[in-house]
Structures are given as C-alpha cells and as structure tokens.
Amino acid sequence: MINTKPADQLSAVLIEEDPSDGLWHLVDSGWAEEHLPELPALRLEQDPIHRHKDVLAHTVAVTSQSPSRLRVRLAALFHDVGKPRTRSYEHGGVTFRHHEAVGARMTRKRMPKLGYQDELTREVSQLVFLSGRFKGYTDGWSDSAVRRYARDGGALLGDLNDLVRSDCTSRNPRRVAALHEALNDLEQRIAELAREDARKAERPEIDGDQVIAHLGIQPGPDVGRALKFLLELKRSEGTLGEAAALERLDAWWAKHQK
C-alpha cells in the first residue's frame, strides 16, 4: 500500500471477492484510525442493559455479502457510520434515529479526504441516505410511496436494492427470506407501476385536433374512439408516420361509418 492514496488502498480491499479479512486488517493495523476513523468508531461498547449488535462487525458482514461493485461496497461500508453520533437510550432501548441522514453527511465529508471523485461521493452519499427507506415497506406502502422510492433511487435504484438486500446479517433464515421476499415484491411493484405509467403517458401519432380536421367531424365520442384506435395501432405496429397513420384512420373511419 506504499505510495498510493487512501482511496486506492481502500478500493483495492473492497473490490476483492471477500473483503472481510482486508477490512479487519485496515482496522487492526491502525490504517482506518488514521484515514477512516468512522470505521473503528463503529466498534460500539456493549452495554449490559441495552444490548445491541457490534455495528463494526455488522458493517464488515454487510460489505462482504454485497455485490463486488465499488459503489455498492462503499455504500455498504458507510451505511451505518452515523450510528455512533445518533445513539440514544431515551426511548426504551438503544436507537439510532436519523442515522442515515447523518451518515450521508459524514460520507460526503470523508470520501473526498480519502481521494474519491465528487461524482462517486455524491452517489455513495445518496445510497447511504436512502439505505433505511425500505424498512417501512412491510407496514404497507401505497402506490405513490413505491413511486417515490423508485424516483428517489433514480439511476441508483439497482444499487440501492442490492444494498438493502445485503443489509440483513441475521442468522435466522426465515428473517432473511422474508426480507428478500418483501424486496422482490417491491421490485415487482416498481416494474408494474412503471409499465402502467408508461401506457398512460402514451400518445397516438395524431392528436384530437388533427382527427377533427382530417375527418371533418365535431368534438365528441367519435374523436375519442378514433384516438383509441390510433393508440392501439401505434402499440401494435409502432410509429408509422403521419401520412400512413392518416390512411389507416381513413380506412377505420370508413368501416366505422357503415
């Protein structure tokens, strides 16, 4: 690791098929304390009353079982860095409220210091910010909530879902299976709503005013039926061009008038 910037050193570990040994070495050797102090800070002390997971061990496990793409691995590594700053015992047990938002800000500050580019920093920070959004899904999301999740994920949606899927280190196979099933259901709903929205956004090649002018008819039900025909024509045969579409409209109208 001599003569390389910290980002290169960290990335070399993260892109390994199993980065767990490398990550533990970065912590145990003191490298993380010098370059990425947020990581060893996750080794939270176990409280005898308010017991909780060792967040560092959890983070290493999540990172190791996430897909070996640098952006996802970095998001997995940073996804819980906000927990030490948000830890509270005021609500009947240990809580880490809003740790994703805090962690996203910490990520934006730390990654450039390590030597990562601005674009990757923004992407990883956004993944950290959104990493906890899925937790409420099983309580029942409306279609608008599903659309909002997909919209906020944007181009990072696939990475976000991979991060969510990796963020389950339970030894209970039923719990793991339930999370994966719920995420699969969410992905299916996203796809179905996208298809539905795309169909609603479709437009025939010829609009209502053109139909009225071309056929010489008044606004009314016939215009709606003509537009429906033109839309189905476009769906089944693709874009024909205005002239060809008008010819097909004439044939449809002649048949319709009989």
Give the CA radius of gyration of the chain.
Answer: 27
> Residue 49 pLDDT > 50, yes or no?
no
In angstroms, rounded to a whole number, what is the distance separating the alpha carbons of residues 148 and 127? 15
Mean pLDDT check: name the lowest of 84-88, 172-176, 178-182: 84-88
Over residues 102-106, the mean pLDDT reads: 95
Cβ(72)–Cβ(158) under 8 Å?
no
DSSP one-letter string for 83-118? HHHHEE-TTSS-EETTHHHHHHHHHHHHHHHHT--H
pTM of the model: 0.77
pLDDT in the model for residue 47: 44
What is the pLDDT confidence band of residue 235, given thresholds at 50, 70 and 90? Answer: confident
Q: Is 204 helix (H, G, I), strand (E, B) or coil?
A: coil
What is the pLDDT confidence band of residue 48, given thresholds at 50, 70 and 90? Answer: very low
pLDDT in the model for residue 143: 93
